[in-house]
Structure 1
Amino acid sequence: MNIKNILFLDIETVPETQSFAELDPLKQELFSKKTAYQRKDEITADEFYERAGIWAEFGKIICISVGFFDLHSEKPAFRIKSFFGDDERKILLAFKNLLDKFFSKPEQVLCAHNGKEFDFPFIARRMIVHSIALPEKLQLFGKKPWEVAHLDTMEMWKFGDFKHYTSLNLLTNILGIPSPKEDIDGSQVAKVYYEDQDLLRIVKYCERDTLAVAQVYLRLTHQPILEEDQVLFVEN
């Protein structure tokens, strides 16, 4: 596959409210029922709410970072752009606009680490919540598996082993790629967003993950990884 046809991405999500108490009573009950099978008896729904960002029904997207290869220059460049903020609908519309304008061709695909289980469905579900028509690349209804334009570096690493889970951090480590977790990791995003109110720190983390996904893809397809001077950040 020509790497110019791949849009690499990563998303960062947080619980829809800072605390469980801020949810209305019905939503609290629904969250309690949703997580009952995952919580141990001594852990309350309130205590478990810090993890709410992993579910599209109880979380929201605060950043989508995308990366793509620009092959027009003598030395290929990898350009990274982020959509972020407190207005989730605005983030989703900007991302949809990017896909509709520049990434809607049949040969073009989306790529993320664990994207088929998390990033792609999360984005699609949140778009539906906001009454946003799905872009063609996220529209799966009626499509056969081989017609879905999604790549997943974790699935590529599995080689058909459906029981195997490997984090992006572990994969970069064993493949000799700089770690994207040099500052924070996913478990700290909600705290950095709500308590520290440092969204730009989260954006940088999301961009490092997006770059790491591209680097892993290059290694898995036996191509040289990117050098530092090949990575360019596109400002909004």
Structure 2
Amino acid sequence: MPDKIHLENILFLDIETVPEKSSFDQLDETTKELWAHKSQYQRKNDTTAEEFYERAGIWAEFGKIICISVGYFTFQKEMRSFRITTFHGEEATLLQEFKEVLDEHFNHTKHVLCAHNGKEFDFPYIARRMIIHGISLPHKLDLFGKKPWEVPHIDTMELWKFGDYKHYTSLKLMAHVLGIPSPKEDIDGSMVRVVYYEENNLERIVTYCELDVLTTAQVYLRLRNQNLLTDQEVKNIVYE
């Protein structure tokens, strides 16, 4: 376990994504064909590309990020606190704002990013969407030429695998088995598209994303065998 990393040098994060368009029929013909080809191995024989499009948010080529929540620890006179910030709105704008935070506040060698399943999803997804929008990659997401041990990323799911690369464990399951109090989420990942496009309720998604950041930080504390945030510390979280 990376217990030598100071907690205040870790930026915990989570993203929420949706299909880039609200419906399949809004795509141009080329994109429809490319989507059909991309998804053909995931679709069941009786599922059309149009029906499967509701899952397009999983792929950075066909989806978009609607919010990025980040959290970090601060320590003052041995008092621990946790702060959370969310970037949301137009994708290009929120990506630029997130990049500025990395460039200005988390740009030293000592700084690392942490997410659950981040190496398979969050980190590459953000990087791909930045490239699509013509945004230069911040140092923490530019992995070109880096050796595995030089990559400044922590993945709580990877830590839980202990070398078992076939094993997938959701954040919710990890929190449960590690005895972490479950946040009162009123949606799950499968509902994000509907809440965004049909209910037009981004605020509800932001709350869900922020709770996942908190849970990721709590899981990481447990993996380091450190005290969880207390109920009072959770109540005192600063939302910026």
TM-score where L is the length of structure 1: 0.97
Instruction: Count how many residue pairs are aligned between Structure 1 and Structure 2.
Output: 234
Aligned position for 1:44: 48
Q: Give the aligned partner of residue 239 of structure 2.
A: 234
Cα separation, 2, equivalents of 1:177 and 1:183: 18
SS across alignment from 1:93: helix
Partner residue of 1:176 out of 171, 176, 179 = 179
Q: CA deviation at 1:176?
A: 1.1
Structure 1 moving runs of 4+ over 4 Å? none
Give CA deviations for 1:37-93 in whole Å, capped at 9, x if unaligned.
1101100000000000000000000000000001125420010110011x1000000
1:107 maps to which residue?
Answer: 110
The answer as to whether partners of 2:185 and 2:211 remain within 8 angstroms in 1 is no
In structure 2, which of residues 64, 68, 71 is the aligned counterpart of residue 67 of structure 1? 71
Gapped regions of structure 1 (runs ≥ 5): none
CA 1:209–1:73: 2 relative to 1, 3 Å? farther
- Partners of 2:96 and 2:165 lie apart in 1 by 34
Measure the CA separation in 1 of the matches of 2:94 and 2:181: 28
Structure 1 Cα separation of the partners of residues 102 and 40 of structure 2? 37
Give the CA deviation at 1:177: 1.1
Other-structure match for 2:208? 205
TM-fit CA distance, 1:157: 0.5
Query: What pairs up with 1:1-236 in 2 under 5 angstroms?
Result: 1-85=5-89, 87-180=90-183, 182-231=185-234, 232-235=237-240
Output the CA distance in 1 between the equivalents of 2:7 and 2:111. Answer: 9
Q: Distance in 2 between matches of 1:73 and 1:81?
A: 23
For the residue of structure 1 that corresponds to 2:76, the secondary structure is coil
Shift of 1:182: 2.4
Q: Distance in 2 between matches of 1:228 and 1:10?
A: 22
Q: Distance in 2 between matches of 1:228 and 1:145?
A: 37
With 105-114 and 224-233 compared, the bigger mean Cα shift is at 224-233
TM-score normalised to the size of structure 2? 0.95
Contact 1:169 1:180 in 2 (8 A): no
Compute the displacement of 1:96 (Å).
0.2
Q: Residues 181 and 127 from structure 1, CA distance in 2 versus in 1: closer, same or farther, beyond 3 angstroms?
A: farther
Taking the aligned partners of 1:78 and 1:198, their CA distance within structure 2 comes to 26
C-alpha distance 70-217 of structure 1, shift in aligned 2 (>3 A)? same
Aligned-residue offset at 1:234:
2.6
Distance in 2, matches of 1:26 and 1:68, equals: 42
Deviation of 1:229 after TM superposition, in Å, equals: 2.8
Residue type of the partner of 2:52? F
> Which runs of 5 or more residues in structure 2 are unaligned?
none
Can you list the C-alpha shifts for 1:142-168, whole angstroms capped at 9, x where unaligned?
111111000000000011111110000
Task: Name the CA distance, whole Å, in 2 between partners of 1:65 and 1:31.
Answer: 28
How many Å apart are 1:227 and its aligned residue? Answer: 1.6
CA contact (8 A) 1:13 1:53 kept: yes
| Percent identity (aligned) | 64
Aligned-residue CA RMSD (Å):
1.0
SS at match of 1:76: strand
